[in-house]
Structure 1
Amino acid sequence: MRPFPRTTPPARRRAAHRVATCVAAALAVVAGACVQADPAEAAASRIRLGSSADAGRATWSGPAFTMNGSGGIVSASMTKAVDAIRGGTGSLDVVVLAASTPSSGSRTPECDAVMRLSGINSCTTWTLTRASDGNNAQANTDIRNAEFVYFAGGDQCKYAAWKSTSLRSSVQSVVAKGGGAGGGSAGHHINSSVVYDACRGSITSGEALADPYDAYATFTTGMFDWPNYAGTINDSHFVTRDRMGRTMAFVARALQDGLVTGGKAWGVGVEEGGSLFIDKNGLATLSGADTYVVLGDHQPEKAVPGQPLTYSGFKIWRLTSGQTFDFKNRPTCGYYLRSVTNGVTDGSLYSGTPVTGC
């Protein structure tokens, strides 16, 4: 977990909050319609640590990625990513993107951690509070000149709103030149092919299994599609917040609605304190707490609005610290099986006997 959490609105209560605001306005105003206005937002802000000049170099050795279960930097995986991108020599520039400022403490907690690592020339925190800030010229210049872009924890719906801005292509350009990307918590979500965006609110496992088309199960596609990471749906705070069930529902939805190609959807759930470092060949190495990869490789038996999910044979890999998972050549063995019948799972979701005779 980050030492100074960023301010995150209670997403599940967003709609209720809007209703309450309108009611309050109706009581205060005798006539006129209730209009929900966005709260005043601060202008985009930039804080740079380290060198004021960008690192100069023609080629880089990535791409490399970090996928974190909670918002903060995990030094072990970030060090691997930095070293992979710079090829063990020189130094690079990092940009941290956030949609809100931390509620207390340092205004640059991610960059504070990054600057303690070897091979870092600078780290710049951009706080972009409005969707239109994704077109901020200086922010996009900093991103394109960087070699790694890290999405902080917070609210992935705000990150998804940057899809239609220049920021998306700027981040893509960093990966294309051999740099890297990553993030934690909300920043982990935004880095998968199918993004659970939580734009209507956060959904629990129980709610998602009871109705995979619950109004709070909303998705964004077409944001990023990183090399070797196709067909993925990231989830965070995985065991602590008991999110296996909702990841199963997300996988079923991705298959049912054609959000992925090739007939397979892969949930990637990382626990708090865990981080996957993924190299340019698609090999992921876990540091810290457990990660689960959840494969759906056939259409759900039942995934319809207003009814509980039925899906037989989710294939689940449990990774512990130091273990690897090859996203380029995805394994066909070593998983355990779990099924859902009318919204009810058939056993412990976070452990099982691996299938070896595949």
Structure 2
Amino acid sequence: MVFRLPTLAAPAAPEQVAESASPPPYGRRTLRLATCLAASLALVLPGLVAADPAHASAKRVRLGSSADVTRPMWSGPAHTMNGSGAVVPATMAKAVDAIRGGTGTLDVVVIAGSAPTSGSATPECDTITGVAGVNSCTTWTLTSRADGNNSAANTDIRNAEFVYFAGGDQCDYADWKGTALQNSVKSVVAKGGGSGGGSAGHHINSAIVYDACDGSVTSDEALYDPYDPAITFTTGMFTWPNYANTINDSHFVTRDRMGRTMAFVARAIEDGLTTGGAAWGVGVEEGGSLFIDKNGAATVAGADTFVVLGDHRPERADPDRYLTYYDYKIWRLRPGQTYDFKNRPTCGYYLRSIVTGVADSNLYNGIPVTNCG
């Protein structure tokens, strides 16, 4: 007789889950616990428990030159932060040009937590190899925490000048904290290269990562309870120059995520996850992208970006209680406009509040304050 654990259907990745009215009844940590339990039972009860299928091995596909560029100095860092998973050629071209200093070529690595279900196996590299100044683009599909220590993948990353995290599931990316991959990506930025990503890849590049490991949360749910179990953070993954105290969010207007970003900002301050008692939410709309240069100057392309500043502790942020927070400062940045993350603006914002879980109207538009004192 063979005994099997009940099968749990994996929840959709955050991009799909967010479209649901309510989060799944269990999160990825629950699934991982079930997997561990199954493995443990297999050890103590050999032959009685059907083993889960193993993760697929890491996969590598390289486009362009087979040889890496060698060069003593690079001119970055530079970053791209995209509101949806696809590469935005305009900001990718700016990042490539900034890192290579306008001369020569460089190598790019794309990191994906899963393979595309249809179409090209290398959609990001298909776009990136069309950008002037790119010598090669290598896609690594890494599907487990152990893959974060894959020696061949880490060699490619360290030899690259730009690392792009594809869309997918930021919980999978956060799981690589503490692996060799984390330090490999840091080394790319430290040598004057860059990093970026779209959707989940956008999330993982902020200083405080909304990791969605216990399911996605809607704006209404987050404002009802800023300590909703689905609101979980990973800190200490990456802290890029000039980008401290940030929390990225994606698909921003299309999926009405202003409210939840406000809750993330309040939580980060209340829980002491930031320095100086302030936090900045960075919400990028679908099709939009931020290019951030080595001096912290960010330029918007494609669609709007919103910067949401909380500069004081919430008036109320408690478990199972409605959020109250007065006077978030919000900058709406349209394509072509800039925001200085090194010398962060003190003017040009509009004000919005949350009172007992209810947001002011018209969260995405406002008349900018100009007499800021």
The two structures have a TM-score, normalised by structure 2, of 0.88
**CA RMSD across the alignment:** 1.9
Question: Which of residues 168, 173, 180 is equivalent to 2:187?
Answer: 173
Name the counterpart of 2:72: 58
Name the counterpart of 2:24: 13
Name the counterpart of 1:4: none
Name the counterpart of 2:221: 207
Q: Matched residues in 2 for 1:74 and 1:66: separation?
A: 9
Q: Matched residues in 2 for 1:275 and 1:98: separation?
A: 19
Name the counterpart of 2:212: 198
**Counterpart check, 1:253 vs 2:267:** yes
* Matched letter for residue 348 of structure 1: N
Q: Is the 8 A contact 1:272 1:289 kept in 2?
A: yes
Deviation at 1:8, TM superposition (A): 3.5
Name the counterpart of 2:312: 298
Q: Is the 8 A contact 2:122 2:139 kept in 1?
A: yes
* Matched letter for residue 187 of structure 1: G
Name the counterpart of 1:130: 144
Question: How many matched pairs?
Answer: 340
Q: Matched residues in 2 for 1:286 and 1:357: separation?
A: 25
Deviation at 1:201, TM superposition (A): 0.2
Q: Is the 8 A contact 2:27 2:213 kept in 1?
A: no
Q: Matched residues in 2 for 1:188 and 1:308: separation?
A: 28
Name the counterpart of 1:116: 130
Deviation at 1:16, TM superposition (A): 7.7
Q: Matched residues in 2 for 1:299 and 1:13: separation?
A: 30
* Matched letter for residue 60 of structure 2: R
Deviation at 1:13, TM superposition (A): 2.5
Name the counterpart of 2:251: 237
Q: Matched residues in 2 for 1:271 and 1:120: separation?
A: 27
**Counterparts in 2 of 1:37 and 1:189: CA distance versus 1, 3 Å:** farther
Name the counterpart of 1:328: 342
* Matched letter for residue 147 of structure 1: E
**Counterpart check, 1:153 vs 2:164:** no
Q: Matched residues in 2 for 1:35 and 1:357: separation?
A: 69
Deviation track 1:61-108 (CA, whole Å, cap 9, x = no partner) reads: 000000000001000000000000000000000000010000101010
**Counterparts in 2 of 1:213 and 1:91: CA distance versus 1, 3 Å:** same
Q: Is the 8 A contact 2:289 2:301 kept in 1?
A: yes
Name the counterpart of 1:348: 362
Question: Which of residues 94, 103, 106 is equivalent to 2:120?
Answer: 106
Q: Matched residues in 2 for 1:181 and 1:39: separation?
A: 32
Deviation track 1:238-267 (CA, whole Å, cap 9, x = no partner) reads: 000000000000000000000101111000
* Matched letter for residue 154 of structure 1: G
**Counterparts in 2 of 1:38 and 1:253: CA distance versus 1, 3 Å:** farther
Q: Matched residues in 2 for 1:242 and 1:37: separation?
A: 41
Q: Matched residues in 2 for 1:295 and 1:269: separation?
A: 11
Q: Matched residues in 2 for 1:145 and 1:200: separation?
A: 34
* Matched letter for residue 169 of structure 2: D
The two structures have a TM-score, normalised by structure 1, of 0.92
Name the counterpart of 1:69: 83
Name the counterpart of 1:26: none
Name the counterpart of 1:266: 280
Deviation at 1:180, TM superposition (A): 0.1
Q: Matched residues in 1 for 2:144 and 2:279: separation?
A: 31
Q: Is the 8 A contact 1:14 1:200 kept in 2?
A: no
* Matched letter for residue 262 of structure 1: G
Q: Matched residues in 2 for 1:233 and 1:37: separation?
A: 38
Deviation at 1:15, TM superposition (A): 1.3
Q: Matched residues in 1 for 2:25 and 2:228: separation?
A: 15
User: Any stretches of 5+ residues in structure 2 without a counterpart?
Assistant: 1-11, 18-22, 35-44
Q: Matched residues in 1 for 2:57 and 2:187: separation?
A: 25
Q: Is the 8 A contact 2:27 2:215 kept in 1?
A: no
Question: Which of residues 70, 84, 87 is equivalent to 2:101?
Answer: 87
**Counterparts in 2 of 1:150 and 1:14: CA distance versus 1, 3 Å:** farther
Q: Matched residues in 2 for 1:341 and 1:41: separation?
A: 46
Name the counterpart of 2:3: none
Deviation at 1:40, TM superposition (A): 3.5
Q: Is the 8 A contact 2:149 2:179 kept in 1?
A: yes
Deviation track 1:17-46 (CA, whole Å, cap 9, x = no partner) reads: 979xx9xxxxxxxxx9x9997653210000
Name the counterpart of 1:223: 237
- What is the percentage of aligned positions where both structures have the same residue? 72
Q: Is the 8 A contact 2:85 2:166 kept in 1?
A: yes
Q: Indicate the SS of the match to 1:314.
A: strand
**Counterpart check, 1:338 vs 2:352:** yes
Runs of 4+ in 1 over 6 A off after TM superposition: 16-19, 34-37
Q: Matched residues in 1 for 2:24 and 2:148: separation?
A: 26
Deviation track 1:302-331 (CA, whole Å, cap 9, x = no partner) reads: 000001100000000000000000000000
Question: Which of residues 325, 328, 339 is equivalent to 1:311?
Answer: 325
Q: Indicate the SS of the match to 1:203.
A: coil
